[in-house]
């Protein structure tokens, strides 16, 4: 599947055709989407073609390198080049960006309070359900760890 860039002007860097400007993270999202849909580890040239072939090769390499620094992609040397694989999907990358923003703030409680209070009722309930599920899993794992007999090294 080939991903094409829309012509909507949203700010950021100019696309290679000199038209609109991209929003922050838009290229990263497009590159990550292409990698998530890749059938196997792929080259930067493959990613470039999936994005319509208009980006400079060096631009694709820069985006891939940034995604690697964020832990969103991995690379393996193959000859004189690299192949790239998504280590995270778009949701994982968005979560990583959210954590970076939160980590940059001094008052985490105020940021989280503001964030939660701005959620829709549906999103707030989803968050509550996810937290409850996570808490239940942690409690189950703790119980299983207690129930597991300890090996004290006796034969």
Nearest one of 73, 50, 48 to 59, comparing CA atoms? 48
Lowest mean pLDDT among 42-51, 93-102, 143-152: 143-152
Q: Mean of the per-residue pLDDT values for the chain? A: 83
Element housing 31 (H / E):
helix 26-37
Nearest one of 69, 61, 67 to 43, comparing CA atoms? 61
When pLDDT is averaged across residues 132-142 and rounded to a whole number, the result is 89
Tens of pLDDT, residue by residue over 48-74, are: 999 999 999 999 999 999 999 988 899
From its phi and psi, is residue 79 left (phi > 0), alpha (psi between -120 and 50) or beta? left
Q: pTM of the entire structure? A: 0.56
């Amino acid at each position: 599947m080939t991903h094409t860039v829309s012509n909507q002007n949203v700010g950021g860097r100019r696309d290679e055709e000199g038209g609109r400007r991209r929003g922050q993270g838009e290229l990263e999202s497009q590159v990550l989407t292409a990698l998530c849909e890749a059938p196997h580890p792929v080259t930067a040239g493959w990613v470039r073609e999936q994005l319509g072939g208009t980006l400079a090769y060096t631009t694709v390499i820069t985006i891939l390198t940034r995604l690697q620094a964020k832990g969103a992609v991995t690379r393996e040397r193959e000859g004189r080049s690299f192949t790239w694989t998504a280590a995270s999907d778009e949701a994982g990358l968005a979560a990583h960006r959210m954590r970076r923003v939160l980590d940059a703030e001094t008052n985490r409680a105020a940021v989280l309070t503001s964030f939660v209070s701005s959620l829709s009722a549906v999103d707030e309930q989803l968050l509550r359900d996810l937290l409850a599920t996570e808490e239940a899993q942690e409690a189950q794992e703790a119980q299983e760890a207690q129930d597991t007999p300890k090996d004290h090294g006796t034969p």
